[in-house]
Amino acid sequence: MLTTTELTATDLAAITAFEGLPAETLDWLLAHGECRLYAAGETIFEPGTPADYLVAIIRGGLQFFAVRGSQREPGFRVEVGQVTGALPYSRLRTIQGLGLAVGDTHLFVLHREHFSTLEQVSPELTQRLVSMMSDRVREQTRLQERDDKLRALGKLSAGLAHELNNPAAAIARAAQALASHAEAKPALLRALVEHCPSPEALAALTALAVPGPAISQAFSALECADYEDELADWLESQGVPQGFRLAAGFLDAGVRLDMLRPVGEALPPLARPAAFAWLEGQLTSLRLIRDVQEAGSRISKLVSDVKTYSHMDRDAGRELLDVAVGLDSTLNMLGFQLRAKNIRVVRDYAPDLPQIKGQVSSLNQIWTNLLDNAIAALPAQGGEITLRTRCEGDFVRVFLIDNGSGIPADVLPHIFEPFYTTKQAGEGSGLGLDIAQRIIKQHDGRLEVSSEQGHTEFCAWLPLPGALA
């Protein structure tokens, strides 16, 4: 480490923020600051280091990294002539990232204890530094908002991929099974026709080719197993090889033994194996088609939820909208997270709730941030979230309530402050509630919170159209 005597006023004048300052101001900075020297790659700041110093880069540079677990991601870089660290009136108290020297690095540092005196010595420099702080906050807020949106998108994408995987896999399985049954039908038809069943026997057979309620819907698992064994034995007595393979399909389609017996009696004995195999294949094919339709409907519903959530196919303006629709689409997008923690969701929507005028995607961002916080606040298994809507006067009120551990009393006054977070490093930026509050204010509303053990309640007030005219 070098001493301040090795710095000159010319060195400080090369710093953009110090450019053009009077000589006596530069001399004061030299007298009260110090120079520090770091080798290339050396650690200058550790995450959690107190932000006690204004830092100006005389030579080299400073690269910051965001540390998440054992991984570190490149953040911003401070170049020669730039200033970083603590600034007058800044609320920054700790360094969030890891700061490494870029090449041989010389820093000029000034402890924050001198800021009050600096304001008297050079109001001009103080004003410059405050202006820099405002620019830095705006840029950092913009970057954090982008990162929060990307992080939220990552969560939603993972949940959506999981949601889509189930119906897509069901469609693939059903298609494969349908192909097998379709391939078997020509041979079964030929075997059936070879034995010349009567038209009456064919009519009785085809009359059963419409599936009904599954046996499992009316009986216990043990009773269903007994029915299946009895049916399998009867099929084998009719010459059907491996009758147990057909028995499950018949029972799933609601075809019982008392329904099959008259058909078996009407058919020639040699036609029975092909006839019952054809019937089971037909019933199973219809069930598989129904499964494909249901899976396809599920995928269509998910796509519809994505479009509603993201405000696709619409411009960025405000329009009349139903708050409950946005709440439900957000719940569907977060469905995987809710089910992963076995969270019960209670929808308490007021009937005939009037529409409000707003921007769908922005309001859905609010519901996402509030729900994400509520999910995080609930235990690993269990918990309850209530969504409630009410109309009071000229406002629609949207409540989001969870029965988690609550927000500590000393934390509650700060939760809407930007960058304030109680989460572990890398888990949150502290901007979620700040963003929610700003969006609510842009809609001429307000966001309130109350919390105690077992009951945390956020309430968004959104004005009705024309209420503030």
Strand duo 53-59 + 83-85: pairing: antiparallel
Which one is predicted more confidently, 165 or 426? Answer: 165
Torsion of CA 61, 64, 65, 66, to 10 degrees: -170
Measured CA to CA, the distance from residue 188 to residue 242 in angstroms comes to 16
Separation in Å, CA 129 to CA 81, 89, 132, 142, 357? 14, 9, 5, 20, 41
pLDDT of residue 5: 44
At 211-236, the pLDDT tens digits run: 777 665 666 778 778 888 888 889 88
Q: Average pLDDT, stretch 304-325? A: 67
Percent of the chain beyond pLDDT 70?
A: 85
Which one is predicted more confidently, 459 or 241? Answer: 459
Least confident of 5-9, 255-259, 423-427, 461-465: 423-427
Domains defined for the chain, CATH in brackets: 4-121 (2.60.120.10), 158-303 (no CATH), 314-463 (3.30.565.10)
What do you get for the CA distance between the two ends of the chain, in Å? 64
Is 423 a residue whose pLDDT tops 80?
Answer: no
Which one is predicted more confidently, 247 or 294? Answer: 247
Long-range contacts of residues 346-352, Cβ cutoff 8 Å, at least 24 apart: 346/384, 346/385, 346/386, 346/387, 347/387, 348/386, 348/387, 348/388, 348/389, 349/324, 349/387, 349/388, 349/389, 350/388, 350/389, 350/390, 350/391
pTM of the model: 0.47
Residue 8, H or E segment: none
pLDDT of residue 359: 80
Q: HEC states along 257-302?
A: HHHHHHHHHHCCHHHHHHHHHHHHHHHHHHHHHHHHHHHHHHHHHH
Closest by CA position to 437, among listed 420, 452, 454: 420
Closest by CA position to 46, among listed 18, 74, 65: 65
Measured CA to CA, the distance from residue 90 to residue 147 in angstroms comes to 22
Strand duo 384-392 + 344-348: pairing: parallel
